Protein backbone atom coordinates (compact mmCIF):
# COMPACT_ATOMS: atom_id res chain seq x y z
CA UNK A 1 0.00 0.00 0.00
CA UNK A 2 1.36 3.42 -0.90
CA UNK A 3 0.74 6.85 0.61
CA UNK A 4 -2.25 8.57 -1.01
CA UNK A 5 -5.05 10.94 -0.12
CA UNK A 6 -7.73 9.99 2.38
CA UNK A 7 -10.36 10.09 -0.34
CA UNK A 8 -8.39 7.62 -2.42
CA UNK A 9 -8.05 5.24 0.51
CA UNK A 10 -11.70 5.31 1.62
CA UNK A 11 -14.74 3.63 0.08
CA UNK A 12 -18.11 3.71 1.85
CA UNK A 13 -20.84 1.35 0.69
CA UNK A 14 -24.39 2.14 1.82
CA UNK A 15 -26.98 -0.63 1.59
CA UNK A 16 -30.65 0.32 1.79
CA UNK A 17 -29.71 3.59 3.50
CA UNK A 18 -29.01 1.66 6.70
CA UNK A 19 -32.37 0.82 8.31
CA UNK A 20 -35.11 2.41 6.18
CA UNK A 21 -37.50 4.78 7.94
CA UNK A 22 -40.43 2.53 7.07
CA UNK A 23 -38.73 -0.35 8.92
CA UNK A 24 -38.34 1.86 11.98
CA UNK A 25 -42.01 2.83 11.70
CA UNK A 26 -43.11 -0.77 11.29
CA UNK A 27 -41.03 -1.98 14.24
CA UNK A 28 -42.36 0.78 16.48
CA UNK A 29 -45.97 0.03 15.54
CA UNK A 30 -45.59 -3.71 16.06
CA UNK A 31 -43.61 -3.34 19.27
CA UNK A 32 -45.86 -0.82 20.98
CA UNK A 33 -49.07 -2.68 20.10
CA UNK A 34 -47.73 -6.00 21.35
CA UNK A 35 -48.26 -7.52 24.77
CA UNK A 36 -45.84 -7.06 26.44
CA UNK A 37 -44.52 -3.98 24.65
CA UNK A 38 -41.02 -3.97 23.14
CA UNK A 39 -38.74 -2.00 20.83
CA UNK A 40 -35.89 -3.71 18.90
CA UNK A 41 -32.45 -2.82 20.25
CA UNK A 42 -31.09 -2.15 16.76
CA UNK A 43 -32.92 1.20 16.74
CA UNK A 44 -30.75 2.49 19.59
CA UNK A 45 -28.02 3.35 17.12
CA UNK A 46 -28.97 6.54 15.37
CA UNK A 47 -26.18 9.12 15.51
CA UNK A 48 -27.15 10.35 18.98
CA UNK A 49 -27.47 6.79 20.27
CA UNK A 50 -24.09 5.83 18.83
CA UNK A 51 -22.46 8.81 20.55
CA UNK A 52 -24.12 7.95 23.85
CA UNK A 53 -22.92 4.37 23.58
CA UNK A 54 -19.35 5.61 23.16
CA UNK A 55 -19.80 7.47 26.46
CA UNK A 56 -21.16 4.31 28.08
CA UNK A 57 -17.99 2.47 27.09
CA UNK A 58 -15.95 4.93 29.16
CA UNK A 59 -18.03 4.59 32.34
CA UNK A 60 -16.37 3.05 35.42
CA UNK A 61 -19.27 0.62 35.89
CA UNK A 62 -19.10 -0.60 32.29
CA UNK A 63 -16.19 -3.01 32.71
CA UNK A 64 -16.72 -4.72 29.32
CA UNK A 65 -14.85 -2.24 27.11
CA UNK A 66 -12.02 -1.64 29.56
CA UNK A 67 -11.47 -5.35 30.19
CA UNK A 68 -11.67 -6.39 26.55
CA UNK A 69 -9.17 -3.68 25.63
CA UNK A 70 -6.67 -4.99 28.19
CA UNK A 71 -7.01 -8.53 26.83
CA UNK A 72 -6.45 -7.28 23.27
CA UNK A 73 -3.37 -5.32 24.31
CA UNK A 74 -1.92 -8.32 26.12
CA UNK A 75 -2.43 -10.84 23.31
CA UNK A 76 -2.51 -8.90 20.04
CA UNK A 77 0.78 -10.45 18.87
CA UNK A 78 -0.61 -13.95 19.35
CA UNK A 79 -3.79 -13.01 17.51
CA UNK A 80 -2.07 -11.68 14.41
CA UNK A 81 0.43 -14.53 14.44
CA UNK A 82 -2.41 -16.67 13.07
CA UNK A 83 -1.98 -14.85 9.75
CA UNK A 84 1.23 -15.12 7.76
CA UNK A 85 -0.19 -13.47 4.62
CA UNK A 86 -1.85 -10.12 3.90
CA UNK A 87 -5.17 -10.16 5.71
CA UNK A 88 -8.48 -8.33 5.43
CA UNK A 89 -9.75 -7.15 8.81
CA UNK A 90 -13.55 -7.08 8.96
CA UNK A 91 -15.43 -5.66 11.95
CA UNK A 92 -19.11 -6.08 12.80
CA UNK A 93 -20.62 -3.13 14.66
CA UNK A 94 -17.42 -1.10 14.47
CA UNK A 95 -18.62 2.10 16.18
CA UNK A 96 -15.64 4.38 16.82
CA UNK A 97 -13.17 1.54 16.11
CA UNK A 98 -11.19 2.54 19.20
CA UNK A 99 -10.24 -0.98 20.30
CA UNK A 100 -9.66 -2.00 16.70
CA UNK A 101 -6.66 0.32 16.53
CA UNK A 102 -4.76 -2.23 18.61
CA UNK A 103 -5.17 -4.83 15.85
CA UNK A 104 -4.71 -2.37 12.99
CA UNK A 105 -1.40 -1.11 14.37
CA UNK A 106 -0.10 -4.64 14.93
CA UNK A 107 -1.03 -5.78 11.42
CA UNK A 108 0.45 -2.63 9.84
CA UNK A 109 3.67 -3.05 11.79
CA UNK A 110 4.03 -6.55 10.32
CA UNK A 111 2.94 -5.25 6.88
CA UNK A 112 0.18 -7.85 6.77
CA UNK A 113 -2.99 -5.72 6.55
CA UNK A 114 -4.66 -5.64 3.15
CA UNK A 115 -7.75 -3.64 4.06
CA UNK A 116 -9.98 -2.73 7.00
CA UNK A 117 -13.73 -3.25 6.46
CA UNK A 118 -15.84 -1.79 9.28
CA UNK A 119 -19.57 -2.53 9.22
CA UNK A 120 -21.85 -0.24 11.21
CA UNK A 121 -25.46 0.85 11.03
CA UNK A 122 -24.57 4.54 11.40
CA UNK A 123 -23.03 6.01 8.25
CA UNK A 124 -22.10 9.19 10.10
CA UNK A 125 -20.26 7.21 12.76
CA UNK A 126 -18.49 5.22 9.99
CA UNK A 127 -17.38 8.39 8.26
CA UNK A 128 -16.09 9.96 11.46
CA UNK A 129 -14.19 6.86 12.60
CA UNK A 130 -12.82 6.11 9.12
CA UNK A 131 -11.45 9.62 8.63
CA UNK A 132 -9.84 9.51 12.07
CA UNK A 133 -8.17 6.18 11.29
CA UNK A 134 -6.96 7.27 7.86
CA UNK A 135 -5.40 10.40 9.35
CA UNK A 136 -3.60 8.28 11.92
CA UNK A 137 -2.38 5.58 9.49
CA UNK A 138 -1.22 6.96 6.11
CA UNK A 139 -1.01 3.53 4.45
CA UNK A 140 -4.33 2.17 5.72
CA UNK A 141 -7.11 1.44 3.22
CA UNK A 142 -10.74 1.24 4.33
CA UNK A 143 -13.82 -0.17 2.63
CA UNK A 144 -16.64 0.68 5.02
CA UNK A 145 -20.18 -0.70 4.87
CA UNK A 146 -23.08 1.31 6.30
CA UNK A 147 -25.59 -1.44 7.06
CA UNK A 148 -27.10 -3.65 9.71
CA UNK A 149 -25.51 -7.03 10.37
CA UNK A 150 -27.65 -8.88 7.83
CA UNK A 151 -26.88 -6.52 4.95
CA UNK A 152 -23.29 -6.07 6.05
CA UNK A 153 -22.63 -9.80 6.05
CA UNK A 154 -23.76 -10.01 2.43
CA UNK A 155 -20.84 -7.77 1.55
CA UNK A 156 -18.41 -10.33 2.93
CA UNK A 157 -19.25 -12.67 0.08
CA UNK A 158 -17.66 -10.20 -2.34
CA UNK A 159 -14.48 -9.87 -0.30
CA UNK A 160 -11.18 -11.13 -1.61
CA UNK A 161 -10.06 -14.71 -1.09
CA UNK A 162 -7.24 -13.38 1.05
CA UNK A 163 -7.41 -14.52 4.68
CA UNK A 164 -9.99 -12.63 6.74
CA UNK A 165 -10.04 -11.90 10.43
CA UNK A 166 -13.65 -11.06 11.27
CA UNK A 167 -13.95 -9.34 14.62
CA UNK A 168 -17.10 -8.91 16.68
CA UNK A 169 -16.14 -7.14 19.88
CA UNK A 170 -17.88 -5.70 22.93
CA UNK A 171 -19.97 -8.82 23.57
CA UNK A 172 -22.43 -7.54 20.97
CA UNK A 173 -23.38 -11.17 20.42
CA UNK A 174 -25.07 -10.91 23.82
CA UNK A 175 -27.75 -8.61 22.39
CA UNK A 176 -29.12 -11.58 20.48
CA UNK A 177 -31.13 -14.49 21.82
CA UNK A 178 -28.97 -17.60 21.93
CA UNK A 179 -30.74 -19.06 18.89
CA UNK A 180 -30.28 -15.77 16.99
CA UNK A 181 -26.59 -15.73 17.90
CA UNK A 182 -26.23 -19.24 16.55
CA UNK A 183 -27.94 -18.27 13.29
CA UNK A 184 -25.78 -15.23 12.63
CA UNK A 185 -22.63 -17.25 13.36
CA UNK A 186 -23.83 -19.89 10.91
CA UNK A 187 -24.13 -17.16 8.28
CA UNK A 188 -20.60 -16.03 9.03
CA UNK A 189 -19.39 -19.63 8.82
CA UNK A 190 -20.80 -19.96 5.29
CA UNK A 191 -18.67 -16.99 4.24
CA UNK A 192 -15.42 -18.24 5.72
CA UNK A 193 -12.61 -20.39 4.36
CA UNK A 194 -10.27 -22.60 6.35
CA UNK A 195 -7.74 -19.75 6.65
CA UNK A 196 -10.31 -17.29 8.06
CA UNK A 197 -10.92 -16.66 11.74
CA UNK A 198 -13.60 -15.01 13.88
CA UNK A 199 -12.44 -13.07 16.94
CA UNK A 200 -15.42 -12.60 19.23
CA UNK A 201 -15.65 -10.90 22.59
CA UNK A 202 -18.12 -12.56 24.97
CA UNK A 203 -19.04 -11.40 28.45
CA UNK A 204 -19.07 -14.07 31.12
CA UNK A 205 -21.65 -14.88 33.78
CA UNK A 206 -20.94 -13.26 37.14
CA UNK A 207 -22.64 -11.76 40.18
CA UNK A 208 -25.88 -9.80 39.85
CA UNK A 209 -24.59 -6.56 41.40
CA UNK A 210 -21.70 -6.18 38.95
CA UNK A 211 -23.93 -6.93 35.98
CA UNK A 212 -26.77 -4.61 36.92
CA UNK A 213 -24.42 -1.71 37.71
CA UNK A 214 -22.83 -2.08 34.29
CA UNK A 215 -26.19 -1.28 32.67
CA UNK A 216 -27.46 1.26 35.22
CA UNK A 217 -24.64 3.72 35.86
CA UNK A 218 -24.72 6.45 38.49
CA UNK A 219 -24.28 9.25 35.92
CA UNK A 220 -27.42 8.15 34.05
CA UNK A 221 -25.76 7.84 30.64
CA UNK A 222 -27.29 4.40 30.00
CA UNK A 223 -30.68 5.77 31.01
CA UNK A 224 -30.25 8.60 28.48
CA UNK A 225 -29.23 6.03 25.85
CA UNK A 226 -32.36 4.00 26.55
CA UNK A 227 -34.69 7.04 26.59
CA UNK A 228 -33.24 8.20 23.27
CA UNK A 229 -35.44 5.54 21.66
CA UNK A 230 -38.50 7.52 22.73
CA UNK A 231 -36.87 10.76 21.59
CA UNK A 232 -36.36 9.20 18.15
CA UNK A 233 -40.04 8.30 17.94
CA UNK A 234 -40.93 11.89 18.84
CA UNK A 235 -38.55 13.37 16.29
CA UNK A 236 -39.04 10.96 13.39
CA UNK A 237 -42.61 9.72 13.81
CA UNK A 238 -44.44 12.61 15.43
CA UNK A 239 -44.67 11.03 18.88
CA UNK A 240 -45.51 12.95 22.02
CA UNK A 241 -43.67 10.84 24.60
CA UNK A 242 -42.90 12.86 27.73
CA UNK A 243 -39.47 11.46 28.60
CA UNK A 244 -39.82 12.68 32.16
CA UNK A 245 -42.71 10.25 32.65
CA UNK A 246 -40.61 7.17 31.83
CA UNK A 247 -37.59 5.77 33.60
CA UNK A 248 -34.78 3.35 32.85
CA UNK A 249 -35.14 -0.05 34.50
CA UNK A 250 -32.58 -2.89 34.60
CA UNK A 251 -32.61 -6.40 36.04
CA UNK A 252 -30.47 -9.51 35.72
CA UNK A 253 -32.56 -12.55 34.88
CA UNK A 254 -30.47 -15.28 36.46
CA UNK A 255 -32.67 -18.08 35.12
CA UNK A 256 -32.13 -17.06 31.49
CA UNK A 257 -28.65 -15.64 32.04
CA UNK A 258 -29.24 -12.17 30.66
CA UNK A 259 -29.40 -8.51 31.68
CA UNK A 260 -32.74 -6.98 30.61
CA UNK A 261 -33.35 -3.28 29.94
CA UNK A 262 -36.75 -1.62 30.01
CA UNK A 263 -38.42 1.77 29.84
CA UNK A 264 -41.08 1.92 32.55
CA UNK A 265 -44.06 4.28 32.66
CA UNK A 266 -44.30 6.36 35.83
CA UNK A 267 -48.08 6.75 35.60
CA UNK A 268 -51.20 5.84 33.63
CA UNK A 269 -50.89 7.75 30.37
CA UNK A 270 -51.70 7.86 26.67
CA UNK A 271 -49.06 8.50 24.00
CA UNK A 272 -49.95 9.62 20.49
CA UNK A 273 -47.72 8.84 17.50
CA UNK A 274 -49.14 10.95 14.68
CA UNK A 275 -47.30 9.41 11.72
CA UNK A 276 -48.54 5.96 12.71
CA UNK A 277 -52.07 7.18 13.52
CA UNK A 278 -51.56 5.39 16.81
CA UNK A 279 -52.57 6.02 20.40
CA UNK A 280 -50.67 3.87 22.88
CA UNK A 281 -51.99 3.38 26.42
CA UNK A 282 -49.60 2.80 29.31
CA UNK A 283 -50.47 1.67 32.80
CA UNK A 284 -48.38 2.80 35.74
CA UNK A 285 -45.18 0.69 35.91
CA UNK A 286 -45.89 -0.89 32.51
CA UNK A 287 -42.62 -1.58 30.73
CA UNK A 288 -41.25 -1.48 27.19
CA UNK A 289 -38.59 -4.18 26.78
CA UNK A 290 -35.71 -2.55 24.85
CA UNK A 291 -32.62 -4.73 25.15
CA UNK A 292 -31.17 -8.02 26.35
CA UNK A 293 -27.53 -8.75 27.08
CA UNK A 294 -26.91 -12.47 27.39
CA UNK A 295 -23.99 -13.69 29.47
CA UNK A 296 -22.18 -16.95 28.79
CA UNK A 297 -20.44 -19.71 30.69
CA UNK A 298 -17.37 -21.33 29.10
CA UNK A 299 -19.40 -24.42 28.25
CA UNK A 300 -22.02 -22.23 26.54
CA UNK A 301 -19.32 -20.54 24.46
CA UNK A 302 -18.02 -23.91 23.30
CA UNK A 303 -21.56 -25.03 22.48
CA UNK A 304 -22.29 -21.84 20.53
CA UNK A 305 -19.17 -22.31 18.43
CA UNK A 306 -19.91 -25.98 17.82
CA UNK A 307 -23.51 -25.40 16.77
CA UNK A 308 -22.42 -22.75 14.26
CA UNK A 309 -19.71 -24.88 12.66
CA UNK A 310 -16.71 -23.45 14.50
CA UNK A 311 -14.50 -24.55 17.36
CA UNK A 312 -12.75 -22.40 19.95
CA UNK A 313 -9.17 -22.44 18.72
CA UNK A 314 -7.82 -20.13 21.39
CA UNK A 315 -9.34 -18.24 24.29
CA UNK A 316 -8.06 -15.40 26.45
CA UNK A 317 -9.26 -13.88 29.73
CA UNK A 318 -8.53 -11.02 32.09
CA UNK A 319 -7.13 -12.07 35.50
CA UNK A 320 -10.57 -11.90 37.17
CA UNK A 321 -12.23 -13.88 34.36
CA UNK A 322 -14.87 -11.23 33.86
CA UNK A 323 -14.64 -11.32 30.07
CA UNK A 324 -13.45 -13.63 27.32
CA UNK A 325 -11.89 -13.08 23.91
CA UNK A 326 -12.39 -16.12 21.70
CA UNK A 327 -10.80 -17.11 18.42
CA UNK A 328 -13.26 -19.26 16.47
CA UNK A 329 -11.94 -21.36 13.60
CA UNK A 330 -13.96 -23.38 11.06
CA UNK A 331 -14.36 -26.99 12.17
CA UNK A 332 -12.53 -28.27 9.09
CA UNK A 333 -9.23 -27.08 10.59
CA UNK A 334 -9.96 -28.50 14.03
CA UNK A 335 -7.18 -31.07 13.80
CA UNK A 336 -4.52 -28.55 12.82
CA UNK A 337 -4.00 -26.91 16.20
CA UNK A 338 -4.40 -27.78 19.84
CA UNK A 339 -6.93 -25.71 21.75
CA UNK A 340 -5.49 -23.39 24.37
CA UNK A 341 -7.07 -21.23 27.06
CA UNK A 342 -4.84 -18.35 28.05
CA UNK A 343 -5.22 -16.11 31.06
CA UNK A 344 -3.29 -12.91 31.64
Each residue of 248-270: pLDDT tens digit? 999 999 999 999 999 999 999 99
CATH number of the domain at 1-344, please? 3.40.50.150
| Integer angstrom CA distances of residue 208 from 186, 258, 291, 338 | 31, 10, 17, 34
pTM: 0.90
pLDDT band at residue 208 under the 50/70/90 scheme: very high
What value does the mean pLDDT take over residues 129-155?
89
Task: Give the full edge-to-edge strand order of the sheet including 258-265.
Answer: 37-38, 287-294, 258-265, 246-253
Handedness of CA 18, 49, 21, 284 (dihedral sign): positive
Cα of first residue to Cα of last residue in the chain, in angstroms, is 34
| φ/ψ (deg, to 5) at 302 | -60, -40
| Residue (of 96, 261, 233) closest to 175 by Cα position | 261
Task: Please tell me whether the peptide bond between 15 and the residue prior to it is cis, using omega within 30 degrees of 0.
Answer: no
What value does the mean pLDDT take over residues 5-34?
83
Would you mind telling me the total number of residues written for the chain in this entry?
A: 344
pLDDT at 161 > cutoff 80: no
Contacts of 264 (CB under 8 A, 6+ apart): 246, 247, 248, 249, 285, 286, 287, 288
Query: Could you tell me which residues are beta bridge partners of residue 11?
Result: 143
Q: Write down the pLDDT at residue 123.
A: 86
Query: Could you tell me which residues are beta bridge partners of residue 247?
Result: 264
| Integer angstrom CA distances of residue 214 from 157, 211, 219, 221 | 36, 5, 12, 11
pLDDT at 308 > cutoff 90: yes
pLDDT band at residue 335 under the 50/70/90 scheme: very low
β-pairing, 197-203 vs 323-330, is antiparallel
pLDDT band at residue 22 under the 50/70/90 scheme: confident
- Please say whether the beta carbons of 58 and 65 come within 8 A: yes
Amino acid sequence: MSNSTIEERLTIITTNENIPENEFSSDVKVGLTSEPKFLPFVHFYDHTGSQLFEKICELPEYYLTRTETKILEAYVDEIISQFSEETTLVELGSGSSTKTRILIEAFLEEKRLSCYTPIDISRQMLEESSYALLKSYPVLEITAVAADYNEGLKQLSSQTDQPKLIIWLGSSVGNLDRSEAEEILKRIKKLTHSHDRLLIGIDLKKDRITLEKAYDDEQGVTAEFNLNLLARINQELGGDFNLEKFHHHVRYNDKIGRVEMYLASDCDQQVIIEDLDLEVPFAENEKIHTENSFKYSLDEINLLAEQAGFFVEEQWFDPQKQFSLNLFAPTDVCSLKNFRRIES
